[in-house]
Chains A and B, each alone.
Chain A
Amino acid sequence: MTFRYLPMTEQDRKEMLETIGVQTTEELFAEIPENVRFHGELAIPQALPEPLLVKHMQRLSGKNANLDQYTSFLGAGVYEHYVPSVVGHVISRSEFYTAYTPYQPEISQGELQAIFEFQSMICELTGMDVANSSMYDGPTALAEAAALAFSHTKKKKVFVSRAVHPEAREILLTNAKGLGYEVVEIPLQDGVTNLARLEEMADEDTAAVIVQYPNFLGNLEDLGQIEQIAHKHKGLLVVSSNPLSLGILQPPGAFKADIVVGDAQPLGILPQFGGPHCGYFATTKALMRRLPGRIVGQTVDEDGKRGFVLTLQAREQHIRRDKATSNICSNQALMALAASVYMSALGKQGMQDIALLNVKKAHFAKQRLSQVSGFEIAHEQPFFNEFVIRVNGSVEEVNRKLLKQGIIGGYDLGKAYSEYQNHMLVAVTELRTQEEIEQLAVALEGLL
């Protein structure tokens, strides 16, 4: 035995080969023809014993500036929030993380119930009727929503606000190419979706209108008006929403949204360089049987005892194959569990408190930064925990200087928006103290 994960001993090997009736393991590979056999050794680094492996991994990890070392004002879809200790403890239980998809419900009731609770919590936050067990992430969930709208309405045009996360819009374009729907971008006006333009552009071929709330620039869209335009043309209203903000914001369900998607990353999931996070997908009763992905339902066992199972499987790829509602097979169960623990820990009151704390900190920061000369507040719109400032010069340059003072600055909007060159998207979560906000303001003042 040379590898700790491989328990095979010489004695085992001998006995097993004897049972099979061959001399060597090589004979078991006889079906692999010589002309496709790989000979020699894979050109990858040699095995490392655990202590050296740890050193190597620590060295790699140490080359990255982490959020424990810096004060960050970076958001743009991935947020630094406090993760209560219980979250890590629960998702580290290997009964959860070493399990597969709960195909055998009798020995998977824990996972199934946890997902059922997740679905219920997402419904509560979004104000929707049903939710699935989770998706890869927020941006891919948004593309799945467009696909649902396209197949349900049998109409071709998907209108997407330019204030939707740029990466989500990119994925939407890739997805549209495959399925054959058309993506039409709704322009911006003063940091929100231009509703007059949407009104002009939408027509009877509208499959969906997709907006983000709060939008990518941090601002709050007028969902009431957008709903009217979408539904006037019998298109679906799809809202992508930061679930943490829904602790205090009027939920999209209250505006008659047909589909609400988003990323549960703000709910107890660490940034992890962008993944794994956790997409969520909620909709109305009317569209329930068109949901993509796994869904858990409540039922009873032979003794009448309550239990949970994967349900509505007639939609899914393993049954319907090429006629399935989606090709998705897995979900992000462990991350959904993290989000559930987070929502349970914060609870009814805590989700309101934390959302409000984000609002207060961000609104103070915006007011404070508005006093810094050389920087201008870009929009005066209602917003949640992010806002845009205009910088004198390059954002990259500003951020480089901030980094030297221990601050990770905001997102460089010019990277994704030609009209926002030299604009920075500043995120302020509950973790930022008044002192840190002051530090940012002073640092920015000092740059001029």
Chain B
Amino acid sequence: MSKETAKQLIFEMSQPGRISYSLPASDVPETEGLPAQFMREVPAELPEVAELDLMRHYTELSRRNHGIDNGFYPLGSCTMKYNPKINEDVARYPGFSKIHPYQAEETAQGALQLLFELQQDLSEITGMDDVTVQSAAGAQGEWTGLMMIRAYHEGRGDLMRNKVIVPDSAHGTNPASATVAGFETITIPSNEKGLVDVEALKEVLGNDTAALMMTNPNTLGLFEEEIKLIADLVHEAGGLLYYDGANANAILGYARPGDMGFDVVHLNLHKTFTTPHGGGGPGAGPVGVKKDLMPYLPKPMVRQREDGSYFFDHDMPQSIGRIKGYYGNFGILVRAYTYIRTMGPDGLKQVSEYAVLNANYMMHRLAPYFDVPFTQNCKHEFVLSGNRQKKQGVRTLDMAKRLLDFGYHPPTIYFPLIVDECLMIEPTETESKETLDKFIDAMIQIAREAEETPEIVQEAPHHTIVRRLDEVTAARKPVLRYSKS
């Protein structure tokens, strides 16, 4: 990307009379059309462009965008790993992309088989008894899981459980999903090791506890070593344990949430299972449950008959109901399935092995230059604090912006909230040592700049197509659409 003038909006390129479509003329006899009162008085002011100009417009926009294929993307807790191309090819097969959700089940047996096998594979990988693949994203998975937890307690006549406990290191979606599911959130602090403070947990557990939501490894990249004790405490109090699978890339084949005592699990297929993030979506957030919660799974589930054929089971009287249109983001599920078949059990285990090795390697190499708030082995990601640089007048935001000049997407910053000037780095397993080394070199250079020439960092980025943008005015005087005037 180079410095250029502001890009025109496609609306600003519009010239009356230009088109990029070709529709057949109507071949049917004229019939009486729609009554005038239903007809639009003013046409929608959509752009009028010719096909080449359209392609140049979007190609130019793509050049102003950084994806994994462009360069390293160590965005913590987002698992920005390689998105395999074969998955893209497969998802576009007409037998997957041009099939209708309401066509007869006997004409969609391949799709049903894929969904069924994916339910099974994800159950095995997470150590759960069953998995729904309907949910479209992690946050939707959380809400789905919490709705099942609610139904479970209600099903037992246990109507007082209105509290969901989340650690202060949790993703923002955890408390937000709890609210949408009708719960109140209680936040508990982490201890000095960055883990759930068991004493603080004991204090809030009670007969109003519906669930504890945890990410393990947590958002600091640390494994919750006392997970078994925590699970026992929550269960003794009558609550359930929810696993946020955002960080599942650390433990494939090494540990399973089901074996840790979790009752409900969601996975982010767009993180651990290589489906592309698409610039913000679509994703998929399958939810696994233990046996006691199976009756509450959203409908429909895919089941197999004795004759080997597959069907959608809608006969689920205790189900929480439907949570998304049709059967989830099927096209994304096809990609994840393709990935699992590519890797197999050995491959998936190696994924976590190398994800963890890469993260620890980076942490050790960067430790001399940045504050490392937690020094035990990390898992697939780790956090640094920019406190040392802050004293030199350089904030974490500045360092993140400086990384843009080196062609990198910066790590996640200012999250988790419990680490000052936080940088959260997740390299993933698909990056080579050379890539990690180059990034480390850039980080070291930035640390040196912070010491010697802080203004270079403070004024970054220097080489992007736009410089820092005025977000305050954007929120105060919102311009959310183009208008001609």
Expressed in whole angstroms, the Cα–Cα distance for A156 and B140 within the complex equals 23
Check if A275 sits within 8 Å of B329, measured CB to CB.
yes
Q: Mark B405-429, 1 if CB is under 8 A from A, else 0.
A: 0000110000100000000000001
Within the assembled complex, what's the spacing in Å between the Cα atoms of A80 and B127? 39
Q: Answer yes or no: A447 CB below 8 A from chain B CBs.
A: no
Given known pairs A16-B357, A60-B114, A296-B480, the reply for A47 and B39 (CB within 8 Å) is: no
Q: Say yes or no: A42 contacts B124, CB within 8 Å.
A: yes
Query: Which partner residue on chain B sits nearest A263 by CB separation?
Result: B325
Judge whether B398 is part of the interface by a CB distance below 8 angstroms. Answer: no
Question: Once bound together, how far apart are the Cα atoms of A174 and B327, in whole Å?
Answer: 16
Q: Are B475 and A313 closer than 8 Å at their CB atoms?
A: yes
Knowing A330-B139, A334-B281, A349-B48 are in contact, say whether A95-B347 is a contact too (CB < 8 A).
no
Residues of B within 8 A of A41 (CB): 253, 345-346
B259 touching A297, Cβ below 8 Å: no
Tell whether, in the assembled complex, residue B330 and residue A8 are in contact, meaning their CB atoms are under 8 Å apart.
no
Residue of B62, B142, B178, B345 touching A95 (CB-CB under 8 A):
B62
Contact residues in A for B125 (Cβ distance below 8 Å): 42, 44
| A–B Cβ pairs within 8 angstroms, 10 of them | A35-B228, A68-B98, A90-B62, A98-B67, A115-B280, A254-B41, A318-B171, A322-B175, A360-B31, A382-B38
Main secondary structure of the interface of B (DSSP, over half): loop
- Verify if A147 is at the interface (C-beta below 8 Å from B): yes
Is A341 close to B, CB under 8 A? yes
Q: How large is the interface on A (under 10, 10 to 19, 20 to 34, 35 or more residues)?
A: 35 or more
Look across to chain B and name the residue whose beta carbon is closest to the beta carbon of A52. B341
Given contacts A119-B481, A140-B324, A348-B46, 18 further A-B contacts (CB under 8 A): A5-B429, A16-B360, A38-B259, A67-B100, A86-B55, A86-B58, A101-B277, A109-B465, A140-B140, A171-B322, A177-B150, A178-B147, A246-B44, A329-B139, A330-B139, A330-B283, A348-B47, A434-B27
- The answer, among A12, A20, A77, for a CB contact under 8 Å with B364, is A20
Q: Is A314 within 8 A of B107, CB to CB?
A: no
A152 to chain B, nearest CB (A): 15
Contact between B356 and A25 (Cβ–Cβ < 8 Å)?
yes
Knowing A63-B113, A295-B480, the reply to whether A167 touches B69 (Cβ < 8 A) is no
Taken residue by residue from 57 to 97, chain B's Cβ proximity to chain A (1 for < 8 Å, 0 otherwise) reads as 11111111111111001010010111110101011111111
Question: Within 8 Å CB of A272, what residues of B?
Answer: 91, 96-97, 99, 330-331
Shortest CB–CB separation between residue B341 and chain A, in angstroms? Answer: 5
Cβ contact of A270, chosen from B69, B97, B320, B432, cutoff 8 A: B97
Stretch of A190-198, A202-210, A227-235, A302-310 that contacts chain B: A302-310
In the bound complex, residues from chain A placing their C-beta under 8 Å from that of B276 are: 94, 97-98, 334
Interface centre among A84, A276, A433 (most CB of B within 10 A): A276
B258-285: which have CB < 8 Å to A? 259-261, 274, 276-283
Q: B103 to A74, Cβ gap below 8 A?
A: yes
Taking the complex as formed, is B478 at the interface, i.e. its CB lies under 8 A from any CB of chain A?
A: yes
Shortest distance in angstroms between A38's beta carbon and chain B's nearest beta carbon?
5
**B27 contacts which chain A residues (CB < 8 A)?**
433-434
**B158 part of interface (Cβ distance < 8 Å):** no
The residues in B between 90 and 124 inclusive whose CB is less than 8 angstroms from any CB of A are 90-104, 107-111, 113-114, 121, 124
Q: Check B377–A30 contact: CB distance below 8 A.
A: yes
- A317: chain B residues at CB < 8 Å are 139, 172-173, 175-176
Give the shortest distance, in Å, between A258 (CB) and chain B (any CB): 17
Which residues in chain B, 321-370, are within 8 Å of chain A measured between CB atoms? Answer: 321-332, 338, 340-351, 353-354, 356-358, 360-361, 364-365
Is A286 among interface residues, defined by CB-CB distance under 8 A? Answer: no
Complex A-B, nearest 4 residue pairs according to Cβ-Cβ distance, in ascending order: A274-B326, A61-B95, A47-B344, A63-B110
Per-position 1/0 for B22-50, Cβ under 8 A of A: 01101111111111011111011111110
